[in-house]
C-alpha cells in the first residue's frame, strides 16, 4: 500500500462524511487516499438510523443548502436501493404542524401534508416521503465507489496532523476532532438503539414527547430500528438494558405490534455534536492545507453530499 505522498489529498475519517468527501474528490480527478481509524463497518455512521432530516445541526442556512443537495443525490441513489442502501420511504414527523415546516423543505418535498389521525394518533404530524439509508449497505458501497474512482482506503489512526505528509488534508474525524485538532467544543451525544424483527411495519415515525424525548422507528431491510436517546456528554458505548426496555415501551405505545418483536441487536453510537459544523480551511506547517469538515451531530447523513462538495472545493481552491 502506498503512502500519503502518493496522493494530492488525504481524507481522515471513514464515516459517511469522510467517505462521501473522498468520493467527490476522486470523481473530480483528484488523487485521494482515505485513512480511517476503524473499518468502515465499525464507524459511528454504521450505527445511524439514517433518516434524511436536519437534526441537531447548525448553522441553519448552510445546513438547508447542504441538506437539499444531499437530497438530490439520495433521490438518484434510491433508484438502486439494493446496491446503494438508499430508499425513499413514507412516514410521520410527529409534533410537527405542517405550517411549521420551513418553505425550503415544503417546496422541495412532493406530497408533504398533514398526517391523518389514523396515521399518527398521538397528535399533529407531517406525512413525508424521505430518504432512509441502510448504512450496512451504503457505507461499503461508498467505499467501493471510492476505490472504483481510483481512491485508496487504509485503516490507520492519526494522532497529530504533523505526521501527515500530504499537501492537502481533509479532517472528517467527527468526535475524534476533539483531541486531534484539538477542539473541545466537539462533544458526544450518546444514542442507543434497539434492533428488532420487523412485525410488518413499512413506514417510519419520529415522535417527540412533552419532555423533549424523541422516539422513532425505521424499517430497514430485514429489521426494524428502534430509538432513541440523546444523552449529551455521555461516553459509554455499552447498551443500558433499562434504556433499551424504555425504548421498546415508547415505540410500542405508538405501534403496539412492536411490543412482541424479537430483539436482534443493541447498538450505541456517539454523535459528534458541535454548536456549528466546522467547514473551513486552515494552514498547516510547510505550506500545506487543512480543510475541516466535522461537527455534524446527528445529521451527517443528511448533509453529507452538500458538505462533501463544499469541502472538495476548499481543498482544490
Give the closest residue to 40 by CA, choosing from 85, 87, 71, 89.
85
HSE value, Cβ hemisphere, 13 Å, CA-based, for 265 = 9
Residue range 109-167, pLDDT digits in tens: 988 999 999 999 988 999 999 999 999 999 999 999 999 999 999 999 999 999 899 99
pLDDT at residue 312, as a whole number? 98
> Which pLDDT band, with edges at 50, 70 and 90, does 2 fall under?
low
Cα–Cα dist 303/55, whole Å:
10
pLDDT at 102 over 90: no
Under a CB-based contact definition with an 8 Å cutoff, are residues 177 and 169 in contact? no
What pLDDT does 5 receive?
61
Over range 49-56, report the average pLDDT: 90
Instruction: Evaluate whether 47 touches 268 at the Cβ level (below 8 Å).
Output: yes
pLDDT of residue 4: 62
Do 94 and 53 touch, CB atoms closer than 8 A? no
Q: Which of the four pLDDT bands, split at 50, 70 and 90, describes residue 212?
A: confident
Show me where the domains of the chain are located: 1-85+134-186+274-317
> Each residue of 53-76: pLDDT tens digit?
988 799 999 999 999 999 999 999
Within 8 A by CB and 6+ apart from 97, the residues are: 114, 124, 126
Is pLDDT of 90 > 50? yes
Whose cell is 450496512? That residue is 136
Q: What number is the average pLDDT over the span 169-180?
A: 98
pLDDT at 224 exceeding the cut of 90: yes
Structure confidence at residue 111 (pLDDT): 86
Residues 218-236 have a mean pLDDT of 97
Predicted local confidence at residue 97, as pLDDT: 83
Considering the chain, what percentage of its residues have pLDDT values greater than 90?
87
* pLDDT of 1 strictly over 70: no
One DSSP character per residue, the chain reads: ---GGG-SEEEE--SHHHHHHHHHHHHTT--EEEEESS-GGGSGGGG---B-S--S---HHHHHHHHHHHHHHHHHHTTSHHHH-EEEEEEEEET--GGGS-HHHHTTSTT-EEPPTTT-TTS-EEEEEEEEE-HHHHHHHHHHHHHHTT-EEEE---S-GGG---SEEEE--GGGHHHHTT-TT-EEEEEEEEEE---S--SEEEEE-TT--EEEEEEETTEEEEE---EET----SPPHHHHHHHHHHHHHHSGGGGGPPEEEEEEEEEEE-SS-EEEEEEEGGGEEEEEEE--GGGHHHHHHHHHHHHHHHHH-
Q: At what angle do helices 16-27 and 300-316 cross, to 10 degrees?
A: 40
- Whether domain 1-85+134-186+274-317 has CATH 3.40.50.720: the reply is yes
Over the chain, what is the mean pLDDT? Answer: 95
Amino acid at each position: 500500500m502506498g503512502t500519503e505522498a502518493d496522493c494530492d489529498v488525504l481524507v481522515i475519517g471513514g464515516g459517511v462524511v469522510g467517505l462521501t468527501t473522498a468520493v467527490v474528490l476522486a470523481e473530480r480527478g483528484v488523487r485521494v487516499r482515505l485513512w480511517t481509524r476503524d473499518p468502515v463497518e465499525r464507524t459511528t455512521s454504521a450505527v445511524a438510523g439514517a433518516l434524511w432530516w436536519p437534526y441537531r445541526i447548525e448553522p441553519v442556512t448552510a445546513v438547508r443548502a447542504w441538506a437539499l443537495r444531499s437530497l438530490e443525490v439520495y433521490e438518484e441513489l434510491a433508484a438502486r436501493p439494493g446496491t446503494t442502501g438508499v430508499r425513499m420511504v413514507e412516514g410521520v414527523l410527529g409534533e410537527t404542524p405542517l405550517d411549521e415546516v420551513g418553505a425550503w423543505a415544503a417546496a422541495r418535498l412532493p406530497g408533504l401534508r398533514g398526517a391523518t389521525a389514523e396515521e399518527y394518533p398521538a397528535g399533529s404530524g407531517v406525512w413525508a416521503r424521505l430518504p432512509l439509508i441502510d448504512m450496512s449497505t451504503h457505507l461499503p458501497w461508498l467505499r467501493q465507489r471510492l476505490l472504483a474512482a481510483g481512491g485508496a482506503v487504509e485503516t490507520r489512526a492519526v494522532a497529530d496532523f504533523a505526521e501527515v505528509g500530504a499537501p492537502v488534508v481533509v479532517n472528517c474525524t467527527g468526535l475524534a476532532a476533539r483531541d486531534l485538532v484539538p477542539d473541545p467544543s466537539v462533544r458526544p451525544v450518546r444514542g442507543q438503539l434497539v434492533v428488532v424483527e420487523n412485525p410488518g411495519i413499512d413506514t417510519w415515525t419520529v415522535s417527540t414527547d412533552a419532555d423533549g424525548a424523541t422516539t422513532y422507528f425505521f424499517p430497514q431491510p430485514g429489521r426494524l430500528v428502534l430509538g432513541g436517546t440523546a444523552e449529551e456528554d455521555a461516553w459509554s458505548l455499552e447498551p443500558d438494558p433499562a434504556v433499551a426496555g424504555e425504548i421498546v415501551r415508547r415505540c410500542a405505545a405508538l405501534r403496539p405490534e412492536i411490543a412482541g418483536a424479537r430483539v436482534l441487536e443493541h447498538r450505541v453510537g456517539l454523535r459528534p455534536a458541535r454548536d456549528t459544523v466546522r467547514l473551513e480551511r486552515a494552514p498547516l506547517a510547510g505550506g500545506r492545507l487543512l480543510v475541516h469538515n466535522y461537527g455534524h451531530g446527528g445529521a451527517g447523513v443528511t448533509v453529507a453530499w452538500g458538505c462533501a462538495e463544499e469541502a472538495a472545493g476548499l481543498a482544490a481552491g
